Structure 1
């Protein structure tokens, strides 16, 4: 790197070059960076935080290293397992406890709970009259839901909104008690705002084939049993980030932490201004090749990185702001993009022998009207993951999630002590076990304020418009959950595809870059 002169007393401006700049050091950014680096492209990753991994992170509590974000991955498609295999972690993949989760909801005398039905999709039951369904929605709700089997499916046409479909076919009880808690827990979004074709691909067609919503769900559940499973990594999902970081170092990727990216502008004729003897040509493939200058603020001062290709792997609205800056005059209709959700996880480490029996299976989803509880979900991590139970040595780890779409986050403005007390009280109610402050060994908080769901209605069209705009400006790729979909099973293959498009543009016919 070279340092430009700066006036006395002002931070220095640093200028450097790369073949690819990746904005964002979450899993999407790290995967894309590694895929580019493997063919010899010089890659710089700019991450605004001090830690890499984004929503896959770690937290140290009471001597335990725990996941602070994602703790599992969907096995569908096999992309995550393939990535773990390439990183030497395939032998570390573990299955969770199959006990399943419960639902907390209003009862006659306050909060009550019941196991979630196992034969459904997104809470939509394939057997509306099943005992496990009736226990949650009652006989009246079950009979109303069974009416789905009697109504002609052609009357609804092709459904778009998950919530509207469930309400029209099965009634309000199924929507409120079964579907909404799962939608909030998985997507942090109201089911009325979820695109059915995104969250349940193929369900429209299955309904038509089977003649009912419940029949369509049953057919998909049967066909996708193998793809519905989740897996984890012994020791925690954060080990994925460690392994990716190690591979990036091995391939010579430059990682700059604490770099707040503030600008993205075109640098024309980069082919004439960027070249050296340290690696492959950092220019495009023609004399008129254009590149980009990425500007970031670091502790040392301003950083300018010039490169022909940029991967925007930052969170949704942060990435959109850079697209606005790069594509001058692009009308993205910002008012149509949904607001980001504020989601916070609170992790508790407890000395509570009463939890040894796992009274609520692997965790609890919470109905929005459940009395006395602010959390929307709880994971009993030591009940879910055998490796963690062994590592914890008799202690229990529970994680509570806060923040529902369209509502203020109940933890906003609270001190750490207040949050720990609230989470402990919520955990006691949800687990049905008395818990007091003396049992709390440690607590920690993890907050995301720019959680933009790709599954909301209209988001696919917005993403397609974005992709079309980027395709007309060679050298910019966008990836991450806000364009790829929720979960690593969606994020990893999307990031690989983005990187491979760059490789295709940059790798010459003779095999060199």
Structure 2
């Protein structure tokens, strides 16, 4: 059952599991546990399910105002859609790929993202598409990789690792630029082992970033390692919530949680509509909200970062040529308000088919979410002009939507001092992206189901049919 407002009562003994947060992590846990016959209640302060997968409307077209694609390095999304029987069509982006805009002494340089890179680390630094970005000098420095031993327990930042071995051109123009765009944080605040465990394992085994990238890079065009859903990614949590509810999960939106409390006898979730008890509580919110709730439950906390997205409908014939393919990722050294641009109607066939003739949909990610930039047609037109090379005027911007996410980006690692019975799901626990969030949530659901089975006498086990 999905409803807004008051939380439905649970049994005197409480629910098996209460999930706080109806984003993808929380919904996956709820779906798998409900299908196993467990009593699950999901509460979320927002009026709609989905978390960071949010729907907006631009020029009459439903679009994503959160994540608009998912990494295909695992089959997590495809397996979930098939396993849950979700009525969704998985799609690939159109084949032109993305570009990179970097700052040089001669101004803005736009070039296609290289085919054979991993997190911007090139398999062949002297490939033409790599040299087009880092120059011949940068390529020569990278080819002369410095193989300094790195202990697994003393891993440097991704930026330092790449700069030391391959040089600052690769670190600045490729790795840091991609890290800021894809993960919303600089490479100096990330670790290779966190962002791509497979690449880290290859690096440790081979002692070379170039050889590790060569072993992993596929040679596909840039951007090919992602997929989407016809009509938008926002359809995924909507369909999953309906599937979970059909299997017995109680899903309540518009219900704020004041506190999660753990004592010797029970776990309590205090909501705006009253208190609920459960054997287990899963916190599947953004990192700041998770930190607030965990502080009340006696665990350590951490800080989030914000994200600001701006979607615009632009009527300009030159954009039909798709001058930067499916979009452009922006070098941090380039003085722009945007760190990335997605040309939505160039990237997705479903968006192109749904959009009125002559209109192009673009999406900009603000470099500084707190600055309030990209709020006007003038500002959007300026950024699109810089990043695409097409002279767009404010009058060409026919519609504009701004979405701010104040609790979106994970910083430090998840705490390991959680009270008994309290668990974390979602990006705050698994890291960024559905390729990480979904497997983590499914594993957590399986462990909770086993724990519940072990702790309950056979006469009290639920016998809900599995559909």
TM over 0.5: yes
Q: What CA distance in whole angstroms lies between the structure 2 residues aligned with 1:251 and 1:440?
A: 45
CA distance in 2, matches of 1:437, 1:244: 40
Is 2:140 aligned against 1:143? yes
Question: Is the Cα–Cα contact under 8 Å of residues 52 and 408 in structure 2 kept in the other structure?
Answer: no
What is the aligned partner in structure 2 of residue 443 from structure 1?
Answer: 400
State the 1:369 CA deviation: 1.3
Indicate which of 46, 53, 60 corresponds to 1:49: 46
| Partner residue in 1 for 2:267 | 292
Distance 1:162 1:324 in 2: 30
Does 2:96 match 1:95? Answer: no
Q: Deviations over 1:358-391 (max 9, x none)?
A: 11011100011113x1100111111111121111
Name the stretch that deviates more: 503-512 or 29-38: 503-512
Change (3 A) 1:41 1:212: closer
Offset at residue 231 of structure 1 (A): 1.2
Residue pairs, 1:28-427, within 5 angstroms: 28-89=25-86, 92-148=89-145, 151=146, 153-158=147-152, 159-207=155-203, 209-222=205-218, 229-266=225-262, 290-297=265-272, 302-327=273-298, 330=299, 332=300, 334=301, 337=302, 339-371=303-335, 373-394=336-357, 395-403=359-367, 408-409=368-369, 411-412=371-372, 418-427=375-384
SS at match of 1:498: helix
Distance 1:402 1:155, change over 3 A: same
Contact preservation (8 Å) 1:15, 1:304: no
Higher relative contact order (CA 8 A, sep 6+): 2
Provide the secondary structure at the position in 1 that maps to 2:338.
Answer: coil
Give 1:222 deviation, angstroms. Answer: 4.6
What's the TM-score once normalised by structure 1's chain length? Answer: 0.81
Name the CA distance, whole Å, in 1 between partners of 2:363 and 2:257.
32
List per-residue Cα deviations over 1:247-281 (Å, max 9, x = no partner). 1332333222222211112365xxxxxxxxxxxxx
Q: How many residues align?
A: 447
The offset of 1:310, in angstroms, is: 0.9
Give TM-score scaled by structure 2 length.
0.88
Deviation of the 1:137 alpha carbon? 1.5
Distance 2:259 2:205 in 1: 50
Query: How far apart are the structure 2 equivalents of 1:295 and 1:15?
Result: 13
Deviates more, 1:423-432 or 1:64-73: 423-432
- CA-based RMSD of the aligned residues comes to 2.6
Judged with a 3 Å threshold, the aligned counterparts in structure 2 of structure 1 residues 13 and 99 are, in CA distance, closer, same or farther, namely closer
Distance change (3 Å), C-alpha of 1:139 and 1:478: same
Deviation at 1:509, TM superposition (A): 7.5
Deviation for aligned residue 1:354: 1.3
Alignment deviations for residues 460-499 of structure 1 (CA, whole Å, 9 cap, x no partner):
xxx3xx34x33xx432221111210211111111111222
